[in-house]
Amino acid sequence: MCGIAGIIGDYKSVQLDAMLTSQYHRGPDSTGRFFDEGFAALGHNRLAIIDLSPQSNQPFLDSSGRYSLVFNGEIYNYIELKAQLQEQYTFKTESDTEVLLAAYLVYGAACLQKCNGMFAFAIWDAQEKKLFAARDRFGVKPFFYALKDNSLYFSSEIKAIHAAGISKIPNENVWASYFAYGSYGNPEETFWEGISQLSGGHFLEYENQELHIKKWYSFEEEVAKQPQNLTFEQAKAHYVALLKDSINLRFRADVPVGFTISGGLDSSVLLALVNLQKEGSGNINATIKSRKSATVTQQSRINAYTFYSDNPDYDELPWVEQMIAKTNNPLTTVLLQADEVPDLSEKMAWQQDEPYGGIPTLAYAKIFEQARKDKVLVLLDGQGMDEQWAGYDYYTQENDIIIQGITDSPFKTNILANSFLNKAQKPVYPKPFEDVILNKQYRDLFYTKIPRALRFNDRISMLYSTELREPFLDYRLVEFAFSLPLDFKIKSGITKFMLREIASEYLDDNLVFAPKRPLQTPQREWLAEDLKEWVTHCFATIKTSSFSAWFDLKELRTELDLYFEGNQNSSFHLWQCISLYWMIQK
């Protein structure tokens, strides 16, 4: 896991240095630069995970020196790919980085279809003076870019592009849509003028100051290719096989691996399968892979991490401890307290560059901080199950609200000035499938829930120089589960039905059939009580800032007063304003 940066066209070396410095936290193990004088500057911040040797530092050049690669992510099936390429490429490292470059040299853009992983990378062809860059299927790893003065700038974080000299100007249309509809922008948008992101499943080519973007991954087509007319038991067996293989692949690392856990079904399944996996004669409860043999060396059971707030109405710690008691994994608990929120939210705002998911994001970040202290550099989590198995309550409801557990609209458009509100655009999402629920799942996978969570989580983990892996977002799992009949997913009002059937073979019924608990921290209470003075300060700052023109200040004050008086069904509108407050400070 790393940070990539580059300038194609006119550049100054100090610009690249500034970009790399701004995202140093993404890769503190090595900083590398490559210059094709007058044409391109590439930079890389390395967090060493696979093949820790200096030979795998980046930018990584092929033996001819024609191609140079900067890569952020992991190619989980790199061992299998390497075996396919052995006769066509002479390898000098044990890294997935070199395998990715070799795959591109042999297959061209078609290499993307062969990669099972999370990735954002760029390859410079010094002979043709051409850049090729791509992003993984679901956009797990970020790729931001900007065009200015006949040059292309790209990086892993928005702040790096600003560091290179691109002005930091709010994209008011995206901000307005965020306040009015809770939208975090379309897949290609950011909250800042002039800075775009390459959508997941797309690649770009830049040559002679011309930019071309193409879609390389068609989820709809892949879903149509899935096995049809399977019985429930056949489908379950196939999914379990894919799930075990996905988890197995994501244990490939040359550094310690751990995982995050909550009291929910998804992380319970992850816990159970992690401890059941086999590699050779031993359990995959180890953390180190032998590069030569690709086997797993047996160690103690891997570390599990969870957070809590010391509030029994929200904490999932009792369920977590109940699960862990059966597997005996070491459990590290991380406490978030209300008085930590102002300082942590400032730090997180700097890292995120854009609005993020509130106090639960801060609690989750503390896990990665602790893992780094423990020298556990890779964590797995359970993101992606709800979207592939139709696990949210709103999938079966006739409304457009996509916040779990909220029935009333959390958006307060009355606080916005009409001139600003008019810039908002209600999101309209594609509906490529005939089924209503499938289209909601598709929306959440590619436009709302997953892109948002992946963005938050990448920046959380990278802030503390750790790597987050998402075994449930293996494209094979998502495509197959998505393609299954609805009654395999929802039956007799029970969501994620097949997944619960799978889990019942490993877990107690009180865990398998526990209701989903959408609220993870006492954010609503803290903002109204413990943090009331701080929240009041944030709102007062907005009223005296240049952004005050975005608001109807009287309505803004009224909504704040109503919240403090007890109208706390949702705190989202307060967090929106706090997000803007930190952008004002920066």
Q: For residue 305, is it within any domain?
A: yes
Structure token digits, residue 501 = 């059937």
Residues 341 and 199 both lie in one domain = no
**Cα Rg for the chain, rounded, in angstroms?**
23
- Look at the block and give the residue holding tokens 């249309």: 173
**With contact defined as beta carbons under 8 Å apart, do 488 and 235 qualify?**
yes
**CATH code of residue 13:** 3.60.20.10
> Is it the case that residue 46 has pLDDT exceeding 80?
yes
Q: Strand pairing of 278-279 and 331-335?
A: unpaired
> Is it the case that residue 400 has pLDDT exceeding 80?
no
pLDDT cut 90: percent of the chain above it: 82
Domain boundary at 217, 238, 264, which? 217
Structure token digits, residue 515 = 């209701």
Residues 323 and 255 both lie in one domain = yes
Model pLDDT, residue 401: 58
Residues 7 and 109 both lie in one domain = yes
Q: For residue 395, is it within any domain?
A: yes
Q: Which residues contact 238 (CB under 8 A, 6 or more apart)?
A: 227, 230, 480
Q: Report CA-CA distances (Å) from 271 to 152, 243, 276, 471.
A: 43, 12, 9, 12
Q: Cβ-count burial of 494 within 10 angstroms (0-12 exposed, 13-18 middle, 19+ buried)?
A: exposed
Confidence tier at 403 by pLDDT (50, 70, 90): low
Q: C-alpha dihedral over 397, 399, 405, 410, to 10 degrees?
A: -170
Annotated binding residue at 313?
A: no
- The mean pLDDT of the chain is 91
User: Which amino acid is residue 18, in one-letter code?
Assistant: A
Largest Cα separation within the chain, whole Å, is 71
Q: For residue 421, is it within any domain?
A: no
pLDDT cut 70: percent of the chain above it: 92
Model pLDDT, residue 286: 32
C-beta atoms surrounding 214 within 10 Å: 11
Q: For residue 413, is it within any domain?
A: no
Q: How many domains does one find in the chain? A: 3
- Going through 440-557 in order, the beta strands assigned E by DSSP cover 467-469
> Is it the case that residue 583 has pLDDT exceeding 90?
no
Residues 13 and 108 both lie in one domain = yes
Cis, bond preceding 59 (omega within 30 deg of 0): yes
Q: For residue 201, is it within any domain?
A: yes
Residues 27 and 84 both lie in one domain = yes
Residues 153 and 229 both lie in one domain = no
Residues 143 and 30 both lie in one domain = yes
> Is it the case that residue 404 has pLDDT exceeding 70?
no
> Is it the case that residue 330 has pLDDT exceeding 50?
yes
Residues 60 and 106 both lie in one domain = yes
Q: For residue 411, is it within any domain?
A: no
- Angle, in degrees to the nearest 10, between helices 436-446 and 475-483: 160
DSSP character at residue 28: B
Model pLDDT, residue 271: 87
Domain boundary at 180, 199, 217, which? 217
Residues 557 and 437 both lie in one domain = no
> Is it the case that residue 109 has pLDDT exceeding 60?
yes
Residues 446 and 530 both lie in one domain = no
Domain boundary at 512, 541, 576, which? 512
Residues 231 and 377 both lie in one domain = yes
User: Which amino acid is residue 521, in one-letter code?
Assistant: T
- Look at the block and give the residue holding tokens 């751990």: 258
Structure token digits, residue 381 = 């989590």
Model pLDDT, residue 285: 33
Structure token digits, residue 149 = 């003065």
The whole-angstrom separation of Cα 83 and Cα 62 is 18
Q: Is 25 helix (H, G, I), strand (E, B) or coil?
A: helix
Confidence tier at 506 by pLDDT (50, 70, 90): confident
Section 81-100 average pLDDT: 97
> Is it the case that residue 307 has pLDDT exceeding 90?
yes
Model pLDDT, residue 516: 62
Confidence tier at 508 by pLDDT (50, 70, 90): confident
Q: Is 159 helix (H, G, I), strand (E, B) or coil?
A: helix
How much is the pTM? Answer: 0.93
pLDDT in tens, 180-215: 999 999 999 999 999 999 999 999 999 999 999 999
Q: List residues bridging with 210 in a β-sheet.
A: 207
Dihedral sign of CA atoms 362, 363, 364, 365 in order: positive
Confidence tier at 349 by pLDDT (50, 70, 90): very high
The whole-angstrom separation of Cα 500 and Cα 567 is 36
Section 113-139 average pLDDT: 98
Q: For residue 415, is it within any domain?
A: no
Question: Which positions are catalytic?
Answer: 2
Residues 134 and 260 both lie in one domain = no
Section 155-183 average pLDDT: 97
Section 424-444 average pLDDT: 96
Residue-range definition of the domain harbouring residue 555: 523-585
C-alpha triplet 98, 52, 22: angle, nearest 5°: 85
Confidence tier at 519 by pLDDT (50, 70, 90): low
pLDDT in tens, 455-474: 999 999 999 999 999 999 99
**CATH code of residue 461:** 3.40.50.620
Half-sphere exposure for 130 (CA within 13 Å, toward CB) = 7
Considering only residues 514 and 199, tell me which one the structure prediction assigns the higher pLDDT. Answer: 199
Confidence tier at 584 by pLDDT (50, 70, 90): confident
- Tell me which H or E stretch contains 478: helix 475-483
- Tell me which H or E stretch contains 281: none
Q: For residue 418, is it within any domain?
A: no
> Is it the case that residue 277 has pLDDT exceeding 70?
no
